[in-house]
Amino acid sequence: MKTMTCSQLGGPCDLKLRGDTADDIIHQQDQHLKDALAAGDTAHEPAHKEMKGRWLHPKKSLDWYNNTKQAFADMPSD
């Protein structure tokens, strides 16, 4: 189990996301951004737009994804 924060994934806060894989944490981040916006938290809007925009730029998205997976791999387990 490892922990990354919203800000480590490009968001504006220090919410801790925990998972066994980088994909677990990425999915949690996606849901966190959606929930934050639904609750009226506009600070998370830029990160949410960036998340949605990744689908429009596959190369950039793949770079972000690979960098996130490497950052997760380099972290010590909790």
Cα angle vertex 4, ends 48, 76, to 5°? Answer: 155
Residue-wise pLDDT tens digits, 27-72: 999 999 999 999 999 999 999 998 888 778 787 788 889 999 999 9
Cα gap 25→18, rounded to integer Å:
6
| Statement: residue 4 has pLDDT above 90 | yes
Nearest of 36, 39, 59 to residue 14 by alpha carbon: 36
Between 19 and 56, the more confident residue is: 19
23 confidence band (pLDDT: 50, 70, 90): very high
What residue segments make up the domains of the chain, in order of their start?
A: 2-74
Q: Report the percentage of the chain scoring pLDDT > 70.
A: 100
